[in-house]
Amino acid sequence: MILVFVRTLVVYFSVIAIMRFMGKRQIGELQSNELVTTILISNLASLPIEETDLPMTAVAIPILLIVSLEVLVSYAIVKLPKLAQAISGSSRIVVLDGHVDQKALKELRYTMDDLLEALRQKNIFDLRTVNFAVVETSGKLSVKTKGHDNKGDPGAEQKPIQFPLVVEGELNTQFLEACGVEKKWVLQQLEKGGTGLKDVLLMQCDCDRNYYILWKA
């Protein structure tokens, strides 16, 4: 009994230390690679508690290997945006100006019931009031409604939606139509600054073609 108690304490505080090391994102919405890592660690961590004859090192080594892989993948994702998209996917517009993108829903395997339920959870019961809705890479739905700001103040001035046209040097083609622009227009604006896509950290644009560019350091 004492052995089980000691092993449980060791595993408990070890897993806490590992999750802290891996970053706060593990505590919030998880990406696919983060979810896999968390599940594997939780399964491995339970073994020395259930099997008292199992050496701690038999569990510690696989856990350290998994954590090392997660850290390497996290660093690679920062350096290689295309790898991030391959692993975590990309955000998808599902509603624009009250109109549902049914093709996007099918590709996301997101049913109409799923969409309506997510809207109801945000106290939105009329699809026609949705100005913009996007399914994030975590599966969470982000919504902006018509006629008021995101805090729900009807008297507040509605600000135009800023779409991320370029992120980490990669063009988000799905947002071009939302802004009413083409790839050629984006490249022309960048050429005014004497540079190209690869030098852009973030480029946002609204439907009136008002844009903002943040260059890479």
Do 52 and 20 share a domain, yes or no?
yes
Do 65 and 104 share a domain, yes or no?
no
- The model's confidence at residue 24, banded by pLDDT at 50, 70 and 90, is very low
Q: What is the pLDDT of residues 97-120, one digit of tens each?
A: 888 888 888 888 888 888 888 998
Do 183 and 216 share a domain, yes or no?
yes
- The model's confidence at residue 82, banded by pLDDT at 50, 70 and 90, is confident
Do 168 and 99 share a domain, yes or no?
no
Output the six-digit token pair for 88.
């975590």
Residue 73 structural domain: 2-86
Select from 86, 119, 137 the last residue of a domain: 86
Do 138 and 190 share a domain, yes or no?
no
Q: How many domains does the chain have?
A: 3
Measure the CA–CA gap between 140 and 118, rounded to whole angstroms.
8
Give this prediction's pTM. Answer: 0.54
Q: Is 48 in contact with 78 (CB distance < 8 Å)?
A: no
- The model's confidence at residue 18, banded by pLDDT at 50, 70 and 90, is low
Res. 157: pLDDT tops 70: no
Do 104 and 44 share a domain, yes or no?
no
- The model's confidence at residue 159, banded by pLDDT at 50, 70 and 90, is low
- The model's confidence at residue 186, banded by pLDDT at 50, 70 and 90, is very high
Residue 84, pLDDT score: 72
Select from 159, 181, 204 the last residue of a domain: 159
Do 80 and 8 share a domain, yes or no?
yes
Mean pLDDT for the chain overall = 79
Q: Report the range of poorest mean pLDDT among 32-36, 91-95, 100-104.
A: 32-36
Calculate mean pLDDT across residues 137-163.
69
Q: Report the range of poorest mean pLDDT among 68-72, 84-88, 187-191.
A: 84-88
Do 165 and 151 share a domain, yes or no?
no
Q: Hey, how many other C-beta atoms are within 10 angstroms of the C-beta on 164? A: 13
Do 14 and 80 share a domain, yes or no?
yes
Do 174 and 98 share a domain, yes or no?
no
Residue 143, pLDDT score: 92
Do 150 and 167 share a domain, yes or no?
no
Residue 156, pLDDT score: 47
Residue 163, pLDDT score: 85
Q: DSSP strand E in the chain: where?
A: 92-96, 99-100, 130-135, 141-145, 163-167, 170-171, 200-205, 211-215
Calculate mean pLDDT across residues 36-42.
80
Select from 86, 113, 143 the last residue of a domain: 86
CATH number at residue 210: 3.30.240.20
Calculate mean pLDDT across residues 176-181.
85
